[in-house]
Amino acid sequence: MEKSLFEQMGGTYTQVGDYMLPNLILSKQQAQPIGTWGHRHARYLKQHHKIIYMNLLTSGKLNGYLVDIENQAKNMFLQIVKQLAESENITEELKAKNPMLWCSQLNNIRERATEIVNAEIIYV
């Protein structure tokens, strides 16, 4: 019997009952988890830059690209939050004295940081 294209390229099968199922393994790059930032950017690419999205998807580079975007966005977000909190004097002392004020100010900073990251990395 002639080998299938999958077998010619080095693929193997496992018999399960009456069926021969291919042994498929994700590459290490595709097995990396994508977070919120990466999913946002993927949705943006899919809706507004379909050609770039499809090129990354068909070349197998989409997951690695999104993991990289995720890491960049996460690092930028944390850095911005830290800088804004320091510049606006939001400290643990304020948290102990007035937790509601601390929470509202920190939430405000997080929202501003999210907007900056979206504008700089995600929706570009």
> What total of structural domains would you count in the chain?
1
Overall size of the chain counted in residues: 124
Query: Domain for residue 75, yes or no?
Result: yes
7 in any annotated domain: no
The CA-atom distances, in angstroms, between 75 and each of 25, 82, 107, 121 are 30, 11, 18, 11
Q: What is the pLDDT of residue 87?
A: 96
Residue closest to 21 by CA, chosen among 2, 6, 3, 1? 6
pTM score: 0.75
Secondary structure of residue 30 in the 3-state scheme? coil
Q: What is the pLDDT of residues 84-97, one digit of tens each?
A: 999 999 999 999 99
Domain of 92 in residue numbering reads as 33-122
pLDDT one digit per residue (tens) for the chain, 124 residues: 688 777 787 888 888 999 988 887 766 656 678 999 999 999 999 999 999 999 998 888 999 999 999 999 999 999 999 999 999 999 999 999 999 999 999 999 999 999 999 999 999 8
Distance between CA atoms of residues 90 and 84, nearest Å: 9
